Chain A
Amino acid sequence: MLPLSLLKTAQGHPMLVELKNGETYNGHLVNCDTWMNIHLREVICTSKDGDRFWRMPECYIRGNTIKYLRVPDEVIDKVQEDKNRSDRRPPGVGRGRGRGGGHGHGPDDASGRGGRGGRGGGRTGGPARGGGRGR
């Protein structure tokens, strides 16, 4: 899963953004782009020390100033829904289906898919986490 797909899925959700200068911005994500530039609404900005606050109706943050984003836990499940939807496409319709016999490719592909399957079931329970590790 790509970080920017998760971010895109988080549209409409509340999030916390910390910038490289230590300021944090709490607000609802309106939109974002492939540079991680983000548009927030109903924002509370907090200074680096956490002692000063500003409210603003909206703000636009340049992606390269961001240190990290904290998004609600449930957003990651919604990305999977989107992915499943595209997976439901009938087999053989997409490009790149017919080349499966290649050398290095098969095993890699298979292990990737196994991991994905485990993740879907295990998110709430936790056991999926241990499942991937060979002991």
Chain B
Amino acid sequence: MLGGPGLESVVDQIISVITNDGRNIVGVLKGFDQATNIILDESHERVYSTKEGVQQLVLGLYIIRGDNISIIGELDEELDASLDLAEVRAHPLRPVIH
């Protein structure tokens, strides 16, 4: 659970990140700092489209700069496993406009 204000409670757990450019990246949180820069291990991007199912692109080890992060959420692994991503259709997110 995201217990306190920080991200300590989700270190070594799988998180889902929405970036300012509208991407959804899922991976294991390995570390973070004051600026919300994060380390994501075994990460992959989920690409949503209305025409076909969700594509998963393997990204590997990533450092995402905090400036570019909109939302970080803990991933419910059980719920996620019950999803058939190949059947999910959704519009891609638009980038954040500053």
Give me the interface of A with B, judged by CB distance under 8 Å.
1-7, 20, 36, 63-64, 66-73, 75-76, 108, 112, 115, 118-119, 128-130, 132-133
Contacts and interface: CB of A to CB of B under 8 A. Distances in A.
Interface residues of B, number: 26
B87 to A, nearest CB: 25
Would you call the interface of chain A mostly helix, strand, loop, or mixed? helix
Given A4-B37, A75-B61, 11 more contacts: A1-B30, A3-B32, A4-B33, A66-B65, A67-B21, A67-B65, A68-B63, A69-B62, A70-B62, A108-B8, A133-B13
Contacts of B62: 68-71
A27 to B, nearest CB: 15
Interface of B: 8, 11-14, 19, 21, 28, 30-33, 37-39, 41, 59-65, 67-68, 77
B61 A70 contact: yes
Nearest to A36: B65
B61 A71 contact: yes
B61 A3 contact: no
A6 B77 contact: no
A133 B63 contact: no
Contacts of A63: 65
A75 B77 CA distance: 26
B61 A20 contact: no
Contacts of A5: 31
A69 B63 contact: yes
A129 B14 contact: yes
Contact of A112 (B8, B14, B28): B8
Of A4, A67, A75, chain B has the most CB atoms within 10 Å of the CB of: A67
Nearest to B31: A1
Contact of B12 (A68, A108, A118): A118
Nearest to B1: A134
A36 B36 CA distance: 13
A128 B61 CA distance: 17
